[in-house]
Amino acid sequence: MKAAVQIPVAFHCHNNLYLSAGNAIAAYENGADVLDCGLMGMARSAGNLPTEACAALMRRYGEMQDIDLYGLLSFVEKRLMPAMEPFGYHNPVAPIDLVFGLCGCHSSFLKRYQAIAEETGVNLFRLIVETSAIDRRSPSDELIRSVAAKLPKA
């Protein structure tokens, strides 16, 4: 399609078979200019590609580096998820799970990360990602604290 038209090509994917992210990656790799998405994947039926998942995935391709991913994830967790609860809408992938998936770190380290992030006043999501870039398999408290010391306060 990209070769046949002179306008930007957009891709809109539904998540009925839990393939919205995979299909979005395929579309991107094949030249799509726009990936249509919505916060927490909100849309009719099973929803669409979650914006926060799109931003995290595109970082792996060197794209969307100007997006404040950690601010976006904090907004979803602290404001949007609680606002949607009265309506029975629950986020299918919580921001913390998305972060662990993004960086390949195991969720068993969560309590240590939470304690150090709270103690040092840094963004939990950023702390996990930046520490995992150094050691995602067995990050020590010393490593986590040294990374936290270099991060801006949340």
DSSP 51-112: HHHHHHHHHTTT--TTS-HHHHHHHIIIIIHHHHGGGT---SS-HHHHHHHHHT--GGGHHH
Answer with the residue of higher pLDDT: 82 or 2: 82
Its pTM stands at: 0.89
Q: For 124-154, how does the pLDDT look when each residue is reduced to its tens digit (9 = 90+)?
A: 999 999 999 999 999 999 999 999 999 999 8
Q: For 3-38, how does the pLDDT look when each residue is reduced to its tens digit (9 = 90+)?
A: 899 999 999 989 989 999 999 999 999 999 999 999
Band (pLDDT 50/70/90 cuts) for residue 84 is: very high
